[in-house]
Amino acid sequence: MTNKIFMLMTFIGVPLSIIGTLLHWSSILLFIIYCLTIIALASFMGRATESLAIVAGPRIGGLLNATFGNAVELIISIFSLKAGLIGIVLASLTGSVLGNLLLVAGLSFFVGGIKYKRQEFNIYDARHNSGLLMFAVMIAFVIPEVFSMNMNESKKLTLSVGISIILIILYLAALFFKLVTHRGVYNHDKENTVHVEETPEWGKGKAIAVLAIATIVVAYISEHLVHTFEVVAESFGWTEMFIGIIIVAIVGNAAEHASAVLMAFKNKMDIAVEIAIGSTLQVAMFVLPVLVLISLLFETSMPLLFSWQELIAMASSVLLMVVISNDGESNWFEGLTLIAAYVILGIGFFLL
């Protein structure tokens, strides 16, 4: 039923997006159409990556889901950078971190916890990811803000570029560690675990084709979505920070939201956690550094500097997730705690 709704939204939304753009419809109307269409397209990306995950396994499947889910946000951010909307880009990436750690993981724990009393996931992956999360946010994000206080713009950008390169290298090393040198070393399988063979919804070729087409269409719509931000912000009294942290982040991460919750409902917590935390790590250690480097090609470069509100919000989210996930177990109350934290931060950024 849900798939039919998203299919209908796609077949209606894509033509309306093109027609509305050509006929210069109201920016607010176009903003709504663009967002709903991107969410519908993200559902196709989620289904395609889920099909690939069945073939490739939970780790690679989660990585694929996070990668193509973040592709939407990366595309939106590149066009935002091109338009000089640096504040929205940094805010959307902050929102992605908060959304994945608190909202995606929270909904996954909550929905899965309602159906199952206690769910387990790979404790070794959880601890490994906790260390990377602490490094990315507490070291790579906070340190530039502290050291840049007495720096000029040129030195701030140099510091940001240096840290970005280090983050990318460490992220690639982390993937090499998990998928190559230590692949299978920390298996979570228990002796009494029953493995159920699954048939992917789509074959490998069709899944890759759907991902490619959806990504291209999302790129087209995202380019025009960016141009509606200013009018929407003025009309509703929203700040750039609120649009980036809440609106753009939710739209950009729609694929992960849907896929992670679905995996949790099916008691596939290894994939659900890999999507939520893996996506956060990819944003913090790859997407953001890549955007810093790409911004050097545009008129206005983007330093790796967040506001104190953004830094404190991200650091608090990381600490909460580390405390909750380090035991390798989850339940509905822990999920509700994460969701409550997200709502509190959302209210704060709305009123800021």
- pLDDT 10s digits, 74-125: 877 888 888 888 888 888 889 889 988 999 899 999 999 998 989 998 888 8
Tell me the C-alpha distance between 331 and 204, whole Å.
33
Report pLDDT for 191.
43
Strand partners, 119: 330
Q: Do the Cβ atoms of 252 and 72 come closer than 8 Å? A: yes
Region 230-245: mean pLDDT is 82
Q: Which two tokens stand for residue 137?
A: 């946010």
280 has a pLDDT exceeding 60: yes
Lowest-confidence pick of 17-26, 245-254, 266-275? 245-254
Report pLDDT for 318.
94
Lowest-confidence pick of 60-64, 123-127, 128-132, 189-193? 189-193
DSSP 120: E
Q: Is 267 left (phi over 0), alpha (psi -120 to 50) or beta?
A: left
Tell me the C-alpha distance between 71 and 331, whole Å.
30
- Kindly state the percentage of the chain with pLDDT values over 70: 90
Report pLDDT for 257.
73
Specify the CATH class of 2-186+201-351 in words. mainly alpha
Region 15-35: mean pLDDT is 91
- Looking at residue 109, its amino acid is F
189 has a pLDDT exceeding 80: no
What band does 163 get if pLDDT is binned at 50, 70 and 90? very high
What band does 311 get if pLDDT is binned at 50, 70 and 90? very high
Region 302-309: mean pLDDT is 89
- 3-state DSSP call for residue 199? coil
Tell me the C-alpha distance between 137 and 63, whole Å.
20
Report pLDDT for 59.
64
Mean pLDDT of all residues belonging to the chain: 84
Task: Enumerate the domain spans of the chain.
Answer: 2-186+201-351
DSSP per position, 129-187: HHHHHIIIIIIIIHHHHHHGGG--HHHHHHHHHHHHHHHHHHHHHHHHIIIIITTTTT-
Region 258-286: mean pLDDT is 85
Q: Which residue has the tokens 């690679």?
A: 60
Report pLDDT for 69.
66
Q: Which two tokens stand for residue 85?
A: 């909307």
What does pTM read for this prediction?
0.81
Report pLDDT for 337.
96
Q: Give the torsion sign (CA, 132, 117, 53, 74).
A: negative
Give the residue among 30, 56, 76 at the shortest CA–CA distance from 255. 76
58 has a pLDDT exceeding 80: no
Q: Do the Cβ atoms of 322 and 103 come closer than 8 Å? A: no
